[in-house]
Structure 1
Amino acid sequence: MPQIRALSKGARITGGVFALLFALQTWSWVVYDIANLGFGTCWDMWAGAVSAGGGPHLEAMPATTATDLGLGLLQLAAVFAAFTGAWTSGGLLTVMAVLTFSYRLPVIWHAGAHTRSTPFYVFPRFFGDSSLDVAMATSALSTLLTPVLFIVLLAGIRPWPAPPRPTALVGPDGLPVQTAQEPEPPLPSESPQHPTGPGAAVAGGYLAVLCAFSLGWCVYLLIDTDFQTWLSLLTGEHALFALLDVAPVWDWLTLAPLCAVGALLAMTRRVSARGYSLGVALASLPVALLALWGLVDRGALFTLGEEGQIASLFTKLELFLTVVGGIALIVLAVRPGVAARPGAPLQAGPMGPMGPMPMGAPGPMGPAPMGGPGQAGAPPFPQQQPPQPYFPPQQPPAAPPQGGGFGPPPPGA
């Protein structure tokens, strides 16, 4: 079984500080939009109801899209998980860092290269706007800070649990006679958690579907249009509706590998899978919800769009699966998982993939006891024994009490 690794406290807190800075940048632009355009206009834009033809009616250059709402929600969740010590913080911080870097990097050339001869935004009357410079500067700052965050997260990964400290035992004559290791059995509440069987299945299927749709749209556009159009939808030239907007192909090429890695983590039931899949769901769910809201508001949910029957059908299918799967994944991710046990395989032994094995099932320490309130049916961790003298003890040590090492023995023991 691969060794369990987790973020150290220092790396987790540092990651929370970075996430807080990124969240302040994102939500500052959301407040900027609401103050300049009004909440109603912003809601219509986030729901996709404002097209390029609506540009002359805007009083200021829009800054955010529904993607920024999803990213901002993910950043706040990463801050909360990091500062509260949640075991999902590692996966959340990783997804947050990847999406922040990918969504802020292209803004540098979008805002910097937007001219009358080479427009990147579909509202061409906004040229020389001071908000372009501010968007480029803040996005460049986020892009420079995310590699630092990646280094912090990678350097902060530690084996779990921490290696035991050597303890020198002293004999009656005051001389050290042997060296033993001080066992520190972790409690279930202090352990990282593997996803449960249903949680792993939902997360793996959800992320695999998102990955397939992202790759499918890239291939579809490449076949349905010419390469130059596809390249424009990758770089963002004349394809953006807001200052922080990202081009469709760029977004799909970001989500495809991100979701593929998450599906692999979920299927192998790594301890980072719960936070990782939760991060993708938090970032994707607001985008799909607002898009569905816009379709219902325009009465276009059950009609075929101009892009064609097949494309329109698959667009709505993707939105529906993203909403339903994202909600199910969030519900399963916030529920307790299977507590990790150092040195015990996930798929074998008394702790099976869905929880404890039946009572009496053979394990590495013999038949599983009746179990206590902490981990029913799980064999107890070895209890710490007092230092033994260098000569053999006269009496054998007492057997550990029945009921597991995670709490008091069960009633009647």
Structure 2
Amino acid sequence: MGILSLALFGQTAFWLLYDIADRGVAGAWSVWASGSGTGLSATSSLDLGLGFLQLAAGWATLIKARTAGGLLLASCATTLLFRLPAVWYVLLDSPSDPWFGDAKGPSLGAVGGTAIGAVATALVLTALLFLVRHLENEASSPYILRGAGPRPVKVTATTSGVLLGVLNIFYIGRNVNTAFQVGPNALAHLLAGKGAVRSELGVASAWQWASLTVLCGLGMLFAFRRRPVAKGFSLGLALFMVPPDVAEVSDYVTTGVLFKVSVDTAQTFLELLGSAAVIALLAAEAAHNRRDRRPEDPPGAPAPAPLVGPIPADARLTNMADSG
């Protein structure tokens, strides 16, 4: 599964490098930070975050990290949501009605073809995640197996759940406000991306907010129900959000609007600072767990046999899932 996740990263990285080769580092960064530049680019700033997430998921799976399950799930869900638009871009494009009008860029067929491959790979990877559920007991938390009862609520789960809830309010509110401003029919066109994007793998803001609503909703559900994949999923969303937000902040600095109060800047800083806080909390928790690990329990050692009763159904994990 790690190889498949790295294959997803390969598709994203290829088009990021294409933009760098086509426009130069400064030109590509200008496109990612502000959306400026002539013609169509292949990628947007969201692809920086997507590539970072896909790489982290693949690497975590290969080294069998405890966050691998959640990272893989986040990678698959995010890839599906942010690559599906490119699929209908290429399918609905025609010589008589070009999807991107007169704008010129890389071959839409080539970009769309790789997007179709990424969607198919993400679906296969998702299916494999469900197929490995027969190994779930082997990855059960030592805390549960020692008969200590349900997992305790950790500050990381609470923090990530609250952050995702606040972000969801932003995303839902922005789409509702857009619907009131332009009407439902225009909002549908914005969701589809017709005339609203400047990159062939890009998505319209309305689609971005709707997709993040779904992702944050899943993250909230996992966090508040203390699901084993919650930690990795929250980490994955944080890794996805940080790179595009850094690009946006750099544009704010360049244009002199860093301290100008607006909904866009508020959302950007909330995503950036909140994601950084989640990453820091997870790193601190991992360091604490390493210090507390018993010398006789080396990494990767099988968990001890349970002392009392069967494992509760909601405590079972996939082989690649988190234990916290």
Which TM-score band (shorter chain)?
A: 0.7 to 0.9
Residue 148 (structure 1) aligns with: 124
Decide whether the 8 Å contact of 1:194 with 1:274 is kept in 2: no
Residues of 1 paired with 2:59 and 2:90: CA distance? 32
Residue 179 of structure 2 corresponds to residue 222 of structure 1: yes
Residues of 2 paired with 1:160 and 1:150: CA distance? 16
Decide whether the 8 Å contact of 1:116 with 1:124 is kept in 2: no
- Identity, % of aligned positions: 32
Residue 264 of structure 2 corresponds to residue 315 of structure 1: yes
What amino acid does structure 1 have at the position aligned with 2:127? I
Decide whether the 8 Å contact of 1:90 with 1:272 is kept in 2: yes
Q: How does 1:9-408 map to 2 (within 5 A)?
A: 15-48=1-34, 50=36, 54-55=37-38, 58=39, 61-114=40-93, 118-121=97-100, 124-126=102-104, 131-158=107-134, 160-162=136-138, 197-303=154-260, 313-336=262-285
What amino acid does structure 1 have at the position aligned with 2:46? T
**Higher relative contact order, structure no. (Cα contacts within 8 Å, ≥ 6 residues apart):** 2
Secondary structure at the residue paired with 2:34? coil
1:141-179 Cα shifts (integer Å, max 9, x gaps): 11222221111001112465449xxxxxxxxxxxxxxxx
Q: Which structure has the bigger radius of gyration?
A: 1
**Greater share of residues in helix:** 2
**Greater share of residues in strand:** 1
Aligned residues: 293
Decide whether the 8 Å contact of 2:83 with 2:119 is kept in 1: yes
What amino acid does structure 2 have at the position aligned with 1:206? L
Secondary structure at the residue paired with 2:13? helix
Instruction: Using the TM superposition, give the Cα deviation of residue 49 of structure 1 relative to its aligned residue in structure 2, in angstroms.
Output: 5.0
Gaps of at least 5 residues in structure 2 are 145-149, 298-303, 308-324
Decide whether the 8 Å contact of 1:195 with 1:271 is kept in 2: no
In structure 2, do the counterparts of structure 1 residues 185 and 209 end up closer, same or farther at CA, with 3 Å as the change threshold? Answer: closer
Decide whether the 8 Å contact of 2:35 with 2:44 is kept in 1: no
Residues of 1 paired with 2:212 and 2:124: CA distance? 22
Decide whether the 8 Å contact of 1:195 with 1:266 is kept in 2: no
Instruction: Using the TM superposition, give the Cα deviation of residue 248 of structure 1 relative to its aligned residue in structure 2, in angstroms.
Output: 1.6
Secondary structure at the residue paired with 1:38? helix
Normalized against structure 2, the TM-score is what? 0.81
Residues of 1 paired with 2:197 and 2:68: CA distance? 32
Normalized against structure 1, the TM-score is what? 0.64
Instruction: Using the TM superposition, give the Cα deviation of residue 140 of structure 1 relative to its aligned residue in structure 2, in angstroms.
Output: 1.0
1:13-51 Cα shifts (integer Å, max 9, x gaps): xx211101000110010111000111111111111151x
Alpha-carbon RMSD across the aligned residues, in angstroms, is 3.1
